[in-house]
Every structure is written in C-alpha cells, then in structure tokens.
Amino acid sequence: MNFDWAIIQMAAPLLLQGTMMTLKIGAVAAVLGLAGGIVLGLLSLGGWPLVRFLVRAYVDFIRGTPLLIQIFIVFFGLPVMGLRLGEFWAGVIALSLNCAGYVAEVVRGTVGSVEKGQTEAAMSIGMTRGKILMYILLPQSFRPMVPALTNDLITLLKNTSLLSVISVYELTRSGQAIIASHFVPLEIFTLLAIYYYVIISSLSYASRVLERRLPQW
C-alpha cells in the first residue's frame, strides 16, 4: 500500500475551510437545539396535558426516524412552505430540530429524577409548579445534565457530516471534493476522521471542565 503523503500536505489546509463551516453549523445548531430542547423539556414537565402529549409525539418522531430522512424532509419541505433559505439553513434547522428532541428527553429525565422530597418541600411553602421548576428543580439539574447534553452535542457535531448530501460545503463535503478530483479516498477519509476526532475531543474536554466548575452539593 502506498499512502500519498503529498496529497495530505495539499489537503490539510484546504479542509480547514470545511472545518470552519462544520464548526459554524455545529455552533448555530447547538444553540438552537439546546434552547429548543430546554423549552420542550420544560413543557413536557409542565401542567398542560395536551402540550405534554404533543412534545412526547415530537420526541417520538425524532427518535423514531433516521436523521438523513429528516434532513431531506426539511430540505425539500421548506421551499414547499415558501421558505427559500438555502442549504445551509435547511441543514441547520434539520439538525436543530433533531438535537432539540434528544435534549428535551435529557431535560425531562434529569429534572424528573430530582428527589421527590424537594418538590414536596417546595409545595409545602406554597410554591406553584412553575416556581418549583424554576427555583428548586432546575438549579439542581444543571450539573447532572452536563454529561448527557455533551453526548447530544457530540452526536450533533458528527451528524453535520450528513449535510454533505444536501451540498452544504462542510468538512466531509470538502473532503469529497478533493477525492473527486484526485481520487485519494483512503488518505482523505483518514484525514477527515482525524479532524472530527480533534474537534470532538476538544468538546469533551471543555465539558469535563464545565462539569467540574459547576457547584455540587
């Protein structure tokens, strides 16, 4: 086997452009996905049964269908709805919607696992459901949420590679472009793997630092 080192030298800087796009998509989708997921998670803990059911149904749909299909549905669905946002935003929206579904489950699960006595004590001083959530349960949930949310963000970052199918020029797509013109798939895919690994390792590291910094009682 001969591994073409010259190609690696040529491709490494070229892939940086795709890396920037991947990071950009990941960051925007992470913010939207986290925000949406937290809202959905809180709604699924709230007092409106119909809303709880709708959130449940949404989470079920997200978990029960492949992301690739979800991406296509958003990509082809948005123009039908009259929204011509381009492939970048179609991709970001698809990933955000997907991420939000998983984050909602993490929020619901973590907040729901705070000891029952906490809710009862808060009820006994006259707090209503919303206040109990806001002042008692959520503050105690941040730290235990971090590892699970990190997993969701790691998955999100890896999933950005699927956007190559709708021609978003992210890391994987930029690699494929090089492969197409030079036919060096092994070298480039190996390089891509390393790029993703470095990005995701940094994220894991940041998450561990954050978890240590968050107060524990």
Name the minimum Å distance from CB 136 to another protein: 6
Nearest to 191 by CA among 22, 6, 15: 15
Name the minimum Å distance from CB 108 to another protein: 20
Give the interface segment with another protein, choosing from 4-12, 53-61, 132-140, 190-198 (CB under 8 A). Answer: 132-140
- Distance from the first to the final alpha carbon of the chain: 56
Q: Which residue in the set 17, 65, 128, 190 belongs to the binding site for another protein (CB under 8 A)?
A: 128
Nearest to 35 by CA among 107, 134, 137: 107
Name the minimum Å distance from CB 130 to another protein: 10
Q: How many residues bind another protein (CB under 8 A)?
A: 20
To the nearest 10°, the Cα dihedral for 82, 86, 183, 14? Answer: -170
Q: How would you classify residue 127: left for phi > 0, otherwise alpha for psi between -120 and 50, otherwise beta?
A: beta
| Closer residue to another protein, CB minimum distance, 1 or 125 | 125
Q: Which residue in the set 13, 64, 82, 117 belongs to the binding site for another protein (CB under 8 A)?
A: 117
Site for another protein in 36-95 (CB under 8 A): 47
Site for another protein in 11-40 (CB under 8 A): none
Give the interface segment with another protein, choosing from 49-57, 103-111, 133-141, 157-165 (CB under 8 A). Answer: 133-141
Q: Which residue in the set 17, 65, 113, 118 belongs to the binding site for another protein (CB under 8 A)?
A: 118
Name the minimum Å distance from CB 44 to another protein: 17
How crowded is residue 23: how many other Cβ atoms within 10 Å of its Cβ?
Answer: 15
Q: Which residue in the set 24, 56, 129, 158 belongs to the binding site for another protein (CB under 8 A)?
A: 129
Residue entry with tokens 């390792």: 201
Q: Could you tell me if 28 and 211 are in contact, meaning their C-beta atoms sit under 8 angstroms apart? A: no
Residue 99, CB-side half-sphere exposure with 13 Å CA sphere: 32
135 binds another protein (CB under 8 A): yes
- The whole-angstrom separation of Cα 78 and Cα 14 is 31
121 binds another protein (CB under 8 A): yes
Residue entry with tokens 């009682």: 217
Q: Which residue in the set 5, 13, 84, 124 belongs to the binding site for another protein (CB under 8 A)?
A: 124
Q: Could you tell me if 136 and 125 are in contact, meaning their C-beta atoms sit under 8 angstroms apart? A: no
Positions that interact with another protein (CB under 8 A) = 47, 117-118, 120-129, 131, 135-136, 139-140, 215, 217
